[in-house]
């Protein structure tokens, strides 16, 4: 029986989404194959041993503390004992401090197999500016953009319109789940959107508004990755955090998406090219737009997509005949084989 550590919570605005994901993984994982240990990271960065049954909306700053001791697979300890040799770590952490290469670097130092892409691909995929530059270098279409850093002179909205058009999206360069993203169509909204984005990052992207359908593909694998079919998201003007996760959301996800054979091939091949261009391993979800010409434009790559009950990644594979439990099995085996 393999011992699997599920890392969840984290110092991130997506803390609660991580907990929703881990609850679903606990329900689906095969207890006959895996001994599951849940380690929760509070919003202040403290690590605790968690009871599977008491995961709430946030990890409290109390409980049995976990200490990390490199040097062997017995890397996690409580005050009085070791948790034993760990076979695989599944870092179900989204956004900064979880999906940006930081936790992947720590686990790499521990020399334990882990689910998902490594340090390089996690960090470059998280940074929307860097990932755009790399995708462009591979001939993959992305939205036009402007970059601003803390301390830069902010252009007025009229200047932005001349370069990107009358409607733009303002977003933090390093953030997921649409946190800090604002649709702007007037000078009145402009500075407020910039200020909101800078709350979350010291780099802010301003992107053109692409006219097209929002599409997502799931990619799974290491050296020979496979691509799922395509799902479509139908939402309001911004597929916001609330639209993604609120119980009252009006957003609609359609699996499989109603696309032609040619459009399906364009989306799937673009997703695979993007996955390889950013050196992804294990899994990622590729978010794209499909324009009126049937061309795919990459919006972003999520290296640790959500695993909640409404998340697109597991649903896309379920539509391919891969159950949630089978998907977890495959992710764990990919982690072990990638570790070498």
Query: ∠ CA 248-254-255 to the nearest 5 degrees?
Result: 130
**What tens digit of pLDDT does each residue of 49-72 get?**
998 665 677 888 888 999 999 989
Entry pTM: 0.90
Q: Check residue 60 and give its pLDDT.
A: 87
**What tens digit of pLDDT does each residue of 75-86 get?**
999 998 999 999
Compute how many other C-beta atoms are within 10 angstroms of the C-beta atom of residue 154.
15
Q: What is the DSSP letter of 242?
A: H
145-208: what fold? Dna Ligase; domain 1 (3.30.1490)
Residues 6+ apart with CB under 8 A from 326: none
Compute how many other C-beta atoms are within 10 angstroms of the C-beta atom of residue 199.
11
- Per-domain residue ranges of the chain: 2-114, 124-140+212-339, 145-208
Answer whether residue 208 shows pLDDT above 90.
yes
**What tens digit of pLDDT does each residue of 86-102 get?**
999 999 999 888 999 99
Phi first, then psi: give them for residue 241, nearest 5 degrees: -55, -45
**What tens digit of pLDDT does each residue of 174-202 get?**
876 577 899 999 999 999 999 999 998 89
Mean pLDDT of the chain: 92
Q: How confident is the model at residue 240 (pLDDT cuts 50, 70, 90)?
A: very low
CATH fourth-level superfamily of 124-140+212-339: ATP-grasp fold, B domain (3.30.470.20)
Beta bridge partners of 253: 233
Give me the architecture of the 2-114 domain, per CATH.
3-Layer(aba) Sandwich (3.40)
């Amino acid at each position: 029986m393999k011992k699997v550590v599920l890392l969840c919570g984290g110092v991130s605005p997506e803390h609660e989404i991580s907990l929703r994901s881990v609850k679903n993984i606990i329900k689906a994982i095969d207890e006959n194959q895996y001994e599951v240990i849940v380690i929760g990271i509070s919003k202040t960065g403290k690590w605790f041993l968690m009871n599977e049954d008491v995961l709430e909306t946030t990890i409290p700053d109390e409980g049995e503390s976990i200490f990390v001791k490199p040097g062997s697979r017995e890397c996690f300890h409580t005050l009085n004992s070791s948790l034993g040799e760990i076979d695989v770590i599944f870092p179900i952490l989204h956004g900064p401090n979880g999906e940006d290469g930081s936790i992947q670097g720590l686990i790499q130092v521990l020399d334990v197999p882990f689910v998902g892409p490594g340090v390089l691909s996690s960090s470059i995929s998280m940074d929307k500016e860097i990932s755009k530059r790399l995708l462009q270098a591979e001939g993959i279409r992305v939205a036009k953009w402007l970059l601003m850093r803390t301390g830069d002179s902010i252009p007025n909205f009229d200047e932005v319109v001349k370069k990107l058009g009358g409607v733009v999206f303002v977003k933090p360069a390093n953030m997921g789940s649409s946190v800090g993203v604002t649709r702007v169509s007037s000078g009145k909204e402009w500075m407020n959107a910039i200020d909101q984005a800078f709350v979350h990052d010291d780099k802010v992207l301003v992107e053109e508004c692409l006219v097209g359908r929002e599409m997502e593909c799931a990619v799974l694998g290491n050296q020979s990755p496979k691509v799922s079919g395509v799902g479509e998201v139908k939402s309001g003007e911004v597929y916001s955090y609330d639209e993604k996760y609120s119980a009252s959301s009006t957003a609609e996800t359609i699996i499989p998406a109603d696309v032609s054979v040619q459009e399906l091939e364009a989306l799937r091949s673009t997703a695979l090219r993007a996955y390889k261009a950013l050196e992804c391993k294990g899994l990622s979800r590729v978010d794209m737009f499909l324009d009126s010409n049937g061309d795919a434009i990459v919006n972003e790559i999520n290296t640790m997509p959500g695993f909640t009950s409404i998340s697109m990644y597991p649903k896309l594979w379920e539509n391919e005949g891969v159950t949630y439990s089978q998907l977890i099995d495959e992710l764990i085996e990919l982690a072990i084989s990638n570790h070498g």
